[in-house]
Structure 1
Amino acid sequence: MVEWILRHAGDDRARVGSMAGMVCIVLNVVLCIAKAAIGLLSGSVSIVADALNNLSDASSNIVSVLGFKLASKPADPEHPYGHGRYEYLSGLVVAVLVLLIGVELVKSSIDKLLAPEPMVFSLALVVVLLLSIAVKFWMAAFNRRLGERIESETLLATAQDSKNDVIATAAVLASAIITRVTGIELDGWMGLAVGLYIGWSGIQLIKDTVDPLLGSAPDPRLVEHIRSKIMSYPGVLGTHDLMVHDYGPGRQFASAHVEMAAESDPIASHDTLDNIEQSFKDEDGMIVTLHFDPIVTNDPAVVDMRNRIDALAKEIDPRVSIHDLRTVPGPTHTNVIFDCLRPEDCALNASELKRELAESVQAEYPKAVAKITVDEDYVSAEQ
């Protein structure tokens, strides 16, 4: 099925997601009907709860399909970066639906505990639940393979949800068998456990889908990939101030400063930056804008000072670094101007870091006055 979808959808990411969603809708509706029938006939609130969970999954799949459709809309004057965040919004709607279903299941399970009714055990009940476990296991593998192929967090989340359903349904089946063998009524308790589990999953999904909308830090692997690619080009001495903006899956933009020798031909340096930007566009599908930072490399005094101050910064925190250092000599003192990159979780705030580093520079170079600009590390990774 995976290869069939990929063969018919080609490189159309939205079509792959939509086709996967349609398959999941059909399977979830069939499971919901089968479980609801068995649950109502047997009087099992936990099985009815599991059926409602499948119904919520089908609703989630519908929202996901709509999200893929809307996210594929091209950019327009009002949305110059495209509509990719619709996929995140659809994920948020799905998460809220999951949470609401969990709350309703908890309420119905509490009612069952307060007014218990015997559950009718049957072979059909066992068959339906075993079939559900098998189908959900297949759906988990199906969505994971497609999600990894098109790098879709939505499909990967759906895969995880299906895996969770395998666990929940297995728990319901176990409670039915235990009740049959021992006579101990666990249906209400199991329904309560399933409801709490679904509700907790909804809360976690809400957090996961809200994070990219609020501007979460990029994947460290992406940060390292960008840095490594920039540093692989001849003439590049360093890179810093990397910022990554996420406008939806496959719609990431980045900017960074690139350090190159100030003495080099500016035309040649500009050409190198153009080549790097084009490489990101061609090979990664990412728009990257690079800023040229000239670094003095033929003045030993300036080079030694930059290296020494960078070492002083790392004595404060090994992840701290400096860049864009230049000096302005005067008759009584020399202004040493540079930027300092502060990690997001540094123990010192910006003012404390600036003060401590300025004191270290003053102690090392008595005639120097440090003019420091503290930059925040927006990618939470050492540059």
Structure 2
Amino acid sequence: MTDLLLKIFAKGIDPASTAYRTRIGFLASTVCIACNIVLCAAKAAVGVLAGSVSIVADAVNNLSDASSNIVSLLGFKLASKPADEGHPYGHGRYEYLAGLAVAVIVSALGLDLVKESVGKIFSPEPSEFSAALVAVLLGSMAVKFWMMLFNRSLGRRIDSETLIATAADSRNDVVTTGVVLACAAIGATTGVSLDGWAGVGVGAFITASGIGLIRDTVSPLLGQMPSPELISKIQEKILSYPGVLGTHDLMVHDYGPGRQFASAHVEMAGEADPFVAHDTLDNIEQDFKRSMGLTMTLHYDPIVTDDPEVRDMRHWIDLHVREIDPRLSIHDLRCVPGPTHTNVIFDCVRPHDLAMTDAELKGRIQATVSERWPKAICVVNIDSSYVSSAQ
């Protein structure tokens, strides 16, 4: 069904384009709005007739889901706006905001359901159990299960946190409706009313899920770490080019799905023709734009490769710095010799959670270098890592 809908609604559109992403978002939101409205009407009817607060609450849940789908629809629409003078990086983060709004709606719904159900526990009312009730709830579970698969599939295709959140909400609905049905069946067979308790359990489950979704959708807005897979892919592509000796200081900025920008330093032989090095970096940048849609800016770091003493020093210092912590690394090492001493200048990249201050780390490194080269003055600049290790 999903593939058929894609062929109808996204026919002839480049899957790598923003237009494709917008069309997929519109498709998912429209289908979900229609399904949730139908389910809301059906559940509300049987819930009122049966006098069940949990079934009526489940109907309101579907109405809330339809509202969330409308928010998602607006999010995809706003995110598709092109860049302008005030927003040169585009409006892609509107999609993250839409996902956050959906998560907040889910959480609010769960809390309200808990409140209503607590009242039902202290003032229980009998509810009816009928074939129509069973048919509607089983049908709702089947539709919601399909919606979960549908949204999850589309969300993975376009890497959309909004659709992933919607899929999680549909999964929650399958569980909550199942609980409501089970409690209605128990009440009909034993005479014990579990309607209020079922509502509390359903509400608590929805609230917990909503809080988790809020956490997941806030993270990219705050500037989360890029995935290890993306880091590895970027580093491997840079290192695959001839003449590239190393890369460091990678930074990735996310302005919404499909709108990522990155920068990195690339080490190349300082003795090589600078025009050739510049041409290589241009080719790498164009390759990223063409193959990954990633706007990449590369900085050329020339390093000495024809001086064996400097080469051996760089290797020795890097090896011993990693003995302090294997996540440490050095780059941009250069030597400035003088009549009485030699300045050894380099940068050291540290992780944010290293259990020592910059000053303590610098002191450790300087002591290590001075022990090996007593006439060397070690000048260390401490950098922070903006990506996790891709090893």
Q: TM-score, normalised by structure 2?
A: 0.95
Segment drifting more, 198-207 vs 220-229: 198-207
1:6 aligns with 2:6: yes
Moved more, 296-305 or 180-189: 180-189
Greater shift, 9-18 or 68-77, is seen at 9-18
Instruction: Report the AA paired with residue 33 of structure 1.
Output: A
Q: Which amino acid aligns with 1:198?
A: I
Q: Secondary structure at the match of 2:382?
A: strand
Contact 1:320–1:343, Cα closer than 8 Å, also in 2: yes
State yes or no: 1:42 paired with 2:50: yes
What's the CA shift for 1:141? Answer: 1.1
Matched, 1:259 2:267: yes
1:303 positional shift: 0.5
- Contact kept? 1:49, 1:195, Cα under 8 Å: no
- State the Cα distance separating 1:246 from its structure 2 match: 0.3
Q: Distance in 2 between matches of 1:369 and 1:52?
A: 71
1:73 maps onto 2:73 in alignment: no
Q: Is the counterpart of residue 221 in structure 1 residue 195 in structure 2?
A: no
Q: Report the 3-state secondary structure (helix = DSSP H, G, I; strand = E; otherwise coil) of the residue aligned with 2:343.
A: strand
Per-residue CA deviation, residues 216-251 of structure 1 (Å, 9 max, x unaligned), is: 111111111101111111111111000000000000
Correspondent of 2:366 among 342, 346, 358: 358
Q: Separation in 1 of the partners of 2:341 and 2:68?
A: 66
**What is the CA distance between 1:343 and its match in structure 2?**
1.6
Structure 1 residue 98, shift from structure 2 partner: 1.1
CA contact (8 A) 1:49 1:194 kept: no
1:81 is aligned with what amino acid? Y
Q: How does 1:46-61 map to 2 (within 5 A)?
A: 46-61=54-69
Does the aligned pair in 2 maintain the 1:179–1:186 contact within 8 Å? yes
Provide the residue aligned with 1:140 in structure 2. Answer: 148
2 CA distance for matches of 1:45 and 1:193? Answer: 13
Deviations 1:292-314 (A, max 9, x none): 01111110110011001101111
CA distance in 1, matches of 2:307, 2:146: 65
The 5 Å alignment of 1:289-368 reads 289-368=297-376
Name 1:116's counterpart in structure 2. Answer: 124
Q: 2:103, 2:165 within 8 Å by CA — same for their partners in 1? A: no
Structure 2: distance between partners of 1:355 and 1:62 = 57
Specify the code of the residue in structure 2 equivalent to 1:256: A
Structure 1 residue 291 displacement after superposition: 0.4
Q: C-alpha distance in 2, partners of 1:203/1:287?
A: 33
The corresponding residue for 2:164 is: 156
What SS does the aligned partner of 2:306 have? coil
Instruction: Give me the whole-angstrom Cα distance separating, in 1, the residues matched to 2:337 and 2:115.
Output: 74
Task: Tell me how far 1:161 sits from its aligned partner.
Answer: 1.7
How far 1:349 moved relative to its partner?
3.1
Q: Which residue of 1 aligns with 2:17?
A: none
1:175 partnered with 2:183 = yes
1:94 is paired with a residue whose SS is: helix
Per the alignment, residue 26 of structure 2 pairs with 18
Give the residue type in structure 2 aligned to 1:267.
F
Contact 2:114 2:204 in 1 (8 A): yes
- Conserved in 2, the CA contact under 8 Å of 1:362 and 1:369? yes
Describe the SS at the equivalent of 1:82: coil
The alignment status of 1:166 with 2:177, answered yes or no, reads no
Is 1:64 aligned with 2:72? yes
What is aligned with 1:235? 243
Q: Is the 8 A contact 1:243 1:254 kept in 2?
A: yes
Structure 2 distance, partners of 1:152, 1:138, is 18
SS in structure 2 of the partner of residue 325 of structure 1:
strand
Moved over 6 A (4+): none
Tell me, in whole angstroms, the C-alpha distance in 2 between the residues paired with 1:349 and 1:173.
58
| Equivalent-residue separation in structure 1 for 2:373 and 2:172 (angstroms) | 61
- For the Cα contact (< 8 Å) 2:106–2:169, is it kept in 1? no
For 2:77, the aligned partner's letter is K
Q: Distance in 2 between matches of 1:111 and 1:349?
A: 55
Equivalenced residue count is: 383
What is the RMSD computed on CA atoms of the aligned residues?
A: 1.3
SS at match of 1:117: coil
Conserved? CA contact 1:344–1:380, under 8 Å: no
Contact map agreement 1:319 1:382 (CA 8 A) in 2: no
Contact 1:13 1:150 in 2 (8 A): yes
Unaligned runs of 5+ in 2: 15-19
* Identity between Structure 1 and Structure 2 (%): 65
| Residues in 1 aligned to 2:390 and 2:375: alpha-carbon distance in whole angstroms | 31
Structure 1 residue 153, shift from structure 2 partner: 2.1
Q: Separation in 1 of the partners of 2:122 and 2:358?
A: 57
Structure 2 letter corresponding to 1:161: D
CA contact (8 A) 2:53 2:195 kept: yes
Paired residue type of 1:191: G
Q: Is the 8 A contact 2:99 2:161 kept in 1?
A: no
TM-score normalised to the size of structure 1? Answer: 0.97
Q: Distance in 2 between matches of 1:185 and 1:235?
A: 75
